[in-house]
Structure 1
Amino acid sequence: MHAISVITNQLVEGVVDLRQVRVGLEHAPHVRLLNLRRLDDRLAACLDGIVVAGGLGSAYCAMACESYRAANIFLLGVQGFLAGSTPIATLMLLSRNSAEAERGLLGALGWVGAPALRDPIRGLLTSSDPLQRRIALAACALHRVDPGPPLDAAFTATDTPLRDRAFRVAGDVGRMDLLPLLQAAALRDSEPAEPRFWAARSAVMLGDRGSALALLNKLAEGTDPFSDAAAELALKALDLPTAHQHLRHCAAQTKPDTPAAAQARRRLIRRCGITGDPHFIPWLIAQMTDLRLTRLAGEAFSMITGADLAWLDLDRKPPAGIDFGPNDDPEDDNVAMDEDDGLPWPDPDKVQAWWQTQQHRFPAGQRFFIGEPPSPAHALKVLRDGFQRQRIAAAQWACLLTPGTKLFPTAAPAWRQQRWLKAMG
């Protein structure tokens, strides 16, 4: 019995650790779907072992969730659904006053198969509790399921977070019939900033190229919390001349030598890659000579050209003595993670030589995404074979190119993504 107890405890700790790693990999620049599959298989094996342990597994999961960390709530949620030992009401109670616990619950709902969720989610969709309705709407979107009339009803809810989620889910599940309501919500001055952002974002995904897109572009030019998310979508949907105007606005913020200007320069590099015009390639190559910008510039270069710098031997070894993340020095106050961790270090001379031989394939003034003009077929190819950041962009392109397409969940369990991709292709 002692041996079983020790093994069960190790499995519980393993799930928490693997889940934390997994969340980081969902947006990683060097991770493909096959890499996620390997980790997901390990995570699933640990979860299966906990379920097999029965009551002992439930007890250890309950103890682990004395901490409200997202990974711990994920563990309790998945184990509860698989073993039927934790009512969804308990999970709701845990996440009521904790945003991190809510993220963990949503992670669990995205992990568990749709059949196990069908009955409990159906009940939550019509609940009088805004939190329960919000969680249920999110769960439907995670499984690419249209919530139906409960989604329509949430558009007029008095609870702002519920409206946020409803506006977001409408775009995620491709509800074209809700486009006029989303456009109206985006332009409603009385609406708080966050719901307006989600309404505009979904309206653009569903085909708006007018008022909602203009609002997204305006938000992208600001410094509010939605700026980067707005730019990721707006710069794909804008025509290239308007996108160039946006980038000139960003460039004007890089002039002074201040920390804010340094961040603005990073923002400009990233947005050049999103825009996809090869006109910016020479400037991006020039940025590769700055060690603080070189990896980000390399990623933007690859986002346009599709060049895998490591595979093509266009990278170099990391420079000695360079460390942009936390270190062991107790006198160093820098505790921020390295934003570019996982990206290759481009060799500017090699990249320049490659570009000289390949630039005839990339005429300036046209838009490219991972080496080709954006198209539904190419977006599907990137969803199959690309790195996670590229796959996230490909999911957006698929919606923009064919309004009404459901947003592909690039953070879903890898085996489910593979099944969906097979069905799509």
Structure 2
Amino acid sequence: MSFAELSVPIVRSRRTPAPLVVQQHVDEAVQLRRVRSVLVRAPHVGLARLARLDERIAAHLDGIGIAGDLGAALCLQVLERAGVAEFFTVTVRSIMDRDTERLSRLLAAAAVLPEGRAGLLSAFGWVEAAALRGLVQPLLESGNPWWREVGLVACDQHGVDPGASLVDAMTDSDESLRRRALRIAGRRGRVDLRPYCVAAMDDESASCAFEAARAALLAGDRGASLARLESMAFANGVHSTEALLLLLKVVTSETGLAALSRFSKDRAQARILARGAGELGDPHGIAWLIDQMNDPMLARLAGESFSLITGLDLSLLDLECDPPDWIEFGPNDDPNDHDVAIDEDDSLPWPDPSKISSWWQVNSYRFPAGQRFFMGSPPGEAHCIRVLREGSQRQRRSAALFLSLMNPEAPLFPTEAPAWRQQRWLDGISV
């Protein structure tokens, strides 16, 4: 299927654009989109900062659009690298220009490039819904599984239920499409699809089975999905950590502590244990977390979990300390060092275990063991919405998940969406 019949005339600017200025718009759009990939999952970035970044990206994308044909030509040149940010930039401009021939080529190229897929899909979520009129339905009706996947994601990112197209995709023979459909079924609050999700937990694909279990859980199932997630959590598979952390948000404190105890004898599993303690939210684990703050390899993660339970901002309350001067994390300036992995705990504060221990001795009475705490309070609806408005991205993602688990019919709030759309949806929420 082609988009050619959907083409509309494009109005070009009569002013002659300056190539250097347009090139700068292209370069900045790509670079800022790369930054966004990091900040949207960052532990220190809130909605306000994300909004400022998104405004800058939007301004550069507009600059490319105003340049007309020159902007389109310079934009296409960035695809020589074919990364997430490059595909995002070109796809956004192609949608806004209604260049259906270019969109068809981008869809074909992205089909075989994982980073291209991610960039193209995020572009469909970036533009306003009006810009997608006439583009999404042909995707949903296509015989190409990848095109159908794009159509489903576009609907999900704009808060639109794909209808029968979603049900059909959940049992499709194409694994990628099936996995995506199961994920969206959970995200959209489709409780009517819970039986389909439960059945799909036996999918031969481990990724599809995990998405089915998560979708069933979000749709309100508390039986088969929990059993499936538990088996995945301890199977040492590709989704083991995800399954465990999701399980810990639902089970009782007693069950959660028993699950975490299975990792306590293996020091190699200490990071999973530290993350799990924060996800479970039982203050029973805080004394252990404070002890881990003396270990440079665990200190920042333990501090984050401590904050996730208590709601404390370690930097704001001067409960942090300087990092050790003898240890390096992540990439450095040595050209002979081939370790280019990003530090998992980058941007997290270094907790001061002595100060935090003193604070805990005075305030522990406010956090009785055996209860679940999230950001200083039990995870009620009003509290989670407040975290969505004021928290960091990691905290906001956790709040969104709690809200969906509390109300299975409510769609999962998209903390990765353009900030202006998130703010519009938040403004429409009343508690």
- CA positional deviation for 1:141: 1.4
Aligned to 1:154: 169
Partner of residue 172 from structure 1, selected from 177, 187, 205: 187
Whether contact under 8 Å (1:28, 1:342) holds in the other structure is yes
| Deviations 1:45-100 (CA, angstroms, capped at 9, x unpaired) | 10111100011100001111132111110000111111223543222112111111
Quick one: distance in 1 between partners of 2:310 and 2:410? 25
Partner of residue 210 from structure 2, selected from 197, 202, 206: 197
Quick one: distance in 2 between partners of 1:346 and 1:389? 18
**Count of residue pairs the alignment pairs up:** 415
Aligned to 2:6: none
Partner of residue 235 from structure 1, selected from 212, 227, 248: 248
| Deviations 1:137-176 (CA, angstroms, capped at 9, x unpaired) | 1121112211011111112211111111111110111101
Matched, 1:375 2:380: yes
Whether contact under 8 Å (1:110, 1:139) holds in the other structure is yes
Structure 2: runs of 5 or more not aligned: 1-14
- CA positional deviation for 1:276: 0.3
Aligned to 1:257: none
Matched, 1:251 2:256: no
Q: Residue type of the partner of 2:29? A: V
Aligned to 1:135: 150
Whether contact under 8 Å (1:185, 1:191) holds in the other structure is no
SS state at 1:328 partner: coil
Aligned to 1:81: 95
Aligned to 2:135: 120
Quick one: distance in 1 between partners of 2:155 and 2:382? 26
Q: Residue type of the partner of 1:217? A: E
Partner of residue 28 from structure 2, selected from 14, 32, 39: 14
Quick one: distance in 2 between partners of 1:122 and 1:3? 35
Quick one: distance in 1 between partners of 2:197 and 2:17? 57
Runs of 4+ aligned residues of structure 1 deviating over 4 Å after TM superposition are none
Tell me the TM-score normalized by structure 2: 0.94
Whether contact under 8 Å (2:17, 2:67) holds in the other structure is no
SS state at 2:61 partner: helix
Quick one: distance in 2 between partners of 1:45 and 1:153? 39
Q: Residue type of the partner of 1:300? A: S
Quick one: distance in 2 between partners of 1:178 and 1:301? 37
Aligned to 2:232: 219
Identity %: 48
Q: Residue type of the partner of 1:23? A: S
- CA positional deviation for 1:228: 2.1
Where do residues 352-363 of structure 1 align in structure 2 (5 Å cutoff)?
A: 352-363=357-368
- CA positional deviation for 1:231: 2.1
Whether contact under 8 Å (1:58, 1:85) holds in the other structure is no
Change (3 A) 1:128 1:86: closer
Quick one: distance in 2 between partners of 1:86 and 1:63? 18
| Deviations 1:91-139 (CA, angstroms, capped at 9, x unpaired) | 2112111111000001101101111113211111111111111111112
Aligned to 1:63: 77
Q: CA RMSD in A?
A: 1.4
- CA positional deviation for 1:401: 0.8
Quick one: distance in 2 between partners of 1:361 and 1:86? 59
Partner of residue 396 from structure 1, selected from 396, 401, 405: 401
Whether contact under 8 Å (1:29, 1:388) holds in the other structure is yes
Quick one: distance in 2 between partners of 1:246 and 1:114? 43
